Structure 1
Amino acid sequence: MVALGGNFNQDFVLTWGGDRAKILNNGQLLTLSLDKISGSGFQSKNEYFFGKIDMQIKLVPANSAGTVTAYYLRSDGLMWDEIDFEFLGNLSGEPYVLHTNVYSQGKGDREQQFYLWFNPTVAFHTYSVLWNSQHIIFSVDGTPLREFKNMELIGVPFPKKHPMRIYSSIWNADDWATRGGLVKTDWSKAPFTASYRNFNANACIWGSGVSSCISKLNNHARLSAIELDLKSKKRLAWVHKNFMIYNYCTDRKRFPQGLPPECTATGSL
């Protein structure tokens, strides 16, 4: 197991965008920027295989229409696994859309979208992924907003075969990001900058084909046993009732041959 306190110099690599990506304050702060020429991104040095990953993010303020800030876990290869947070920009005064997705064996199409119940641009908020062999839980400031359960018994692929790195990037997606592409990026407002701090991973590190938790079975068992308690289930229901704006499990136009099996087995995930 590893518990990291957020030194970006130690834990991450700036991967693209030149000086649009910066590590500041002796590794305590990271910023990604987008201008008309390019966006930028970073990735973790380590691969992880199960655990809880936290990152505090402050999103692009004011008019961020057309921009997307992504924060996600992803494995390598053509049959990759992926767990996504994507923040879709907006016009000033309009709420961000938080877009989530889960890929397994290279297949996604499991989107859920939410409005946030706060302004994510004026302060840092903690975005978390809990990933174990039983389920994936997306949380914001400790409030769960999505649970994706392991339903392999009914033929639903679940990401539990591949280690994943942490990635984040900011880029221009004004062909679809804001109101389906109707609102374009206003480049007079560039650069658009997102900020990151207080990374923490209570997770198993993957290296040389072996998990760091293999020799620590109690830690691995504890990770796999984490479940939502009654209070968290009530918070999850509150988020779904008040802030969910899209759920693939209710989109019969998208799945005319029938909803995915996890939807009909468990209702809205």
Structure 2
Amino acid sequence: MAFQLIFMFAILFFMVPSSNAYWPPSPGYWPSSKFKSMSFYKGFRNLWGPQHQSLDQHALTIWLDRTSGSGFKSVRPFRSGYFGASIKLHPGYTAGVITAFYLSNNEAHPGFHDEVDIEFLGTTFGKPYTLQTNVYIRGSGDGKIIGREMKFHLWFDPTKDFHHYAILWNPKEIIFLVDDVPIRRYPRKSDATFPLRPMWVYGSIWDASSWATEDGKYKADYRYQPFVARYTNFKASGCTAYAPLRCHPVSASPYRSGGLTRQQHFTMRWVQSHHMIYNYCRDIKRDHRLTPECWS
């Protein structure tokens, strides 16, 4: 009888999934610890929707309702650097709503801009947020912007607590990180496929009902307004557009030359294997003549 109980317990033990079964392995290096946090007003300012923005104890709250969303922008443009913020997302029904943290020079080069995105695509009840990363290079304003989207379902609920999201951009690569876990590396394969002009850091919440949730199937429902996002632990460190040429670009690894360690690479591949839900390079519907980095 005792043997049968032990046998049954062993079966149940292996049948019940571990809560950490899909938690990434340690990257072994934590680049966020290398850059100082700043208060919101030290490095940023309101861009639009000031009446939908408030600051309390170093945390910035922005929200979207039927009348407006809100956005903010860094005071200075950068030509490389580490840019991060700890963000807590709105729970429940958020279809059609985009919460974003990104780099762009759209205001300096309207219709022909570069952009590096971290975007949280809102969702319906019971379904997880999608984190979308994207890179635009000299995009056109006529609807022919070539996106380079990679999408993920995170290994945690981003509405329960703050988590740190970051973009590291230097002349060799762009690395996207979540709680210091690298989830994507976009290397510079050519000047034509890499953003090289200075960019500002932005954050925003806005209505993108036409495409944000299941290609626009579900729209923003303002019965659930306001949709709220909270940002804190701001980091923006690197070479500004006005820094001398001797300013050395930052790195996401212990290597001053950039790149990732073997352990960071392993962790990134693990995340992409277990949590990535879309990769533009694997989309057979895309015209990959426009994205030569997919086959170069």
Q: Percent identity of the aligned residues?
A: 40
Amino acid across the alignment from 2:205: I
Alignment of 1:257-268 (within 5 A): 258=289, 260-265=291-296
SS in 2 for 1:234: helix
If the length of structure 1 is used for normalisation, what is the TM-score? 0.87
Residues 101 and 108 in structure 1, CA contact (< 8 A), matched pair in contact too:
no
Q: Structure 1 residues 175 and 215 mapped into 2: Cα distance closer, same or farther (>3 Å)?
A: closer
Give, in angstroms, the shift of residue 105 of structure 1: 1.9
C-alpha distance after superposition, 1:88-107 (max 9, x if no partner): 01123211011111111225
Residues 101 and 201 in structure 2, CA contact (< 8 A), matched pair in contact too:
yes
Please state if 1:90 is matched with 2:120.
Answer: no
Amino acid across the alignment from 2:158: P
Give, in angstroms, the shift of residue 258 of structure 1: 4.4
- C-alpha distance in structure 2 between counterparts of 1:171 and 1:61, whole Å: 16
If the length of structure 2 is used for normalisation, what is the TM-score? 0.80
C-alpha distance after superposition, 1:131-186 (max 9, x if no partner): 1111100010011111111111xx742112x1111011111122221122222222
- Whichever structure has more strand as a proportion of its residues is 1
- C-alpha distance in structure 1 between counterparts of 2:237 and 2:59, whole Å: 20
C-alpha distance after superposition, 1:217-255 (max 9, x if no partner): xx3486871211111111111111111111110112121
Amino acid across the alignment from 2:212: A
- C-alpha distance in structure 1 between counterparts of 2:207 and 2:78, whole Å: 28
Root mean square deviation of aligned Cα: 2.0
- C-alpha distance in structure 2 between counterparts of 1:180 and 1:221, whole Å: 36
The structure 1 residue matched to 2:71, chosen from 38, 41, 62, is 41
Amino acid across the alignment from 1:38: S
The structure 2 residue matched to 1:176, chosen from 203, 211, 231, is 211
Q: Which residue number corresponds to residue 233 of structure 2?
A: 198
Runs of 4 or more above 6 Å deviation: 221-224
Alignment of 1:1-269 (within 5 A): 3-25=35-57, 28-75=58-105, 76-77=108-109, 78-106=111-139, 107-152=145-190, 156-160=192-196, 162-207=197-242, 211-212=243-244, 214-216=245-247, 219-220=248-249, 225-255=257-287, 258=289, 260-265=291-296
Give, in angstroms, the shift of residue 70 of structure 1: 1.4
- C-alpha distance in structure 2 between counterparts of 1:109 and 1:230, whole Å: 28
Q: Structure 1 residues 42 and 222 mapped into 2: Cα distance closer, same or farther (>3 Å)?
A: closer
SS in 1 for 2:193: coil
SS in 1 for 2:293: helix
Q: Structure 1 residues 221 and 45 mapped into 2: Cα distance closer, same or farther (>3 Å)?
A: closer
SS in 2 for 1:225: coil
Pick the structure with greater CA Rg.
2
SS in 2 for 1:63: coil
Residues 193 and 293 in structure 2, CA contact (< 8 A), matched pair in contact too:
no
C-alpha distance after superposition, 1:178-227 (max 9, x if no partner): 122222222121101000000112311223xxx25x344xx348687121
Unaligned runs of 5+ in 2: 1-33, 140-144
Q: Structure 1 residues 110 and 220 mapped into 2: Cα distance closer, same or farther (>3 Å)?
A: closer
Amino acid across the alignment from 1:167: Y
- C-alpha distance in structure 1 between counterparts of 2:152 and 2:250, whole Å: 32
Residues 144 and 232 in structure 1, CA contact (< 8 A), matched pair in contact too:
yes
- C-alpha distance in structure 2 between counterparts of 1:231 and 1:150, whole Å: 21
Residues 66 and 178 in structure 1, CA contact (< 8 A), matched pair in contact too:
yes
- C-alpha distance in structure 2 between counterparts of 1:260 and 1:164, whole Å: 22
Amino acid across the alignment from 2:213: T
- C-alpha distance in structure 2 between counterparts of 1:85 and 1:23, whole Å: 22
